[in-house]
Amino acid sequence: GAGVSQSPSNKVTEKGKDVELRCDPISGHTALYWYRQSLGQGLEFLIYFQGNSAPDKSGLPSDRFSAERTGGSVSTLTIQRTQQEDSAVYLCASSRGRSTEAFFGQGTRLTVV
């Protein structure tokens, strides 16, 4: 597709369950970001992948959060044992190597009940 695609667009899960959020970046983009945005709030950085370099995981809030990027393309953000405070919109973005214009997906709205 032409843009960054995220799935699902909405996810409701019970507290304590694990969830997986998927991001398909723009083809050829080597950089991929995950951000979290709570209602009316700013963009909280979670993790950054750049090519074959080790990912920058400095924004992951706890060890319940993990992400991987397979084959330099699709990325999955996994949240284990979800808590109510994990409820937010999770945004994925990608960019070309040296050009840091980041293109964002529409986000996945996660609700933990």
Binding site for another protein (CB under 8 A): 4, 31, 33, 35, 40-43, 45, 48, 50-51, 56, 91, 93, 97-107
C-alpha–C-alpha distance, residues 109 and 111, integer Å = 7
Q: How far is the CB of 101 from another protein (least distance, A)?
A: 5
Nearer to another protein, 42 or 71 (CB): 42
Q: How far is the CB of 57 from another protein (least distance, A)?
A: 11
Nearer to another protein, 19 or 91 (CB): 91
Residue labelled with tokens 């991929």:
32
Nearer to another protein, 14 or 99 (CB): 99
Contacts of 111 (CB under 8 A, 6+ apart): 10, 11, 12, 13, 87
C-alpha–C-alpha distance, residues 15 and 34, integer Å = 22
Q: How far is the CB of 20 from another protein (least distance, A)?
A: 19
CA distances from 41 to 11, 59, 73, 111 (A): 19, 16, 28, 16
Q: How far is the CB of 34 from another protein (least distance, A)?
A: 11
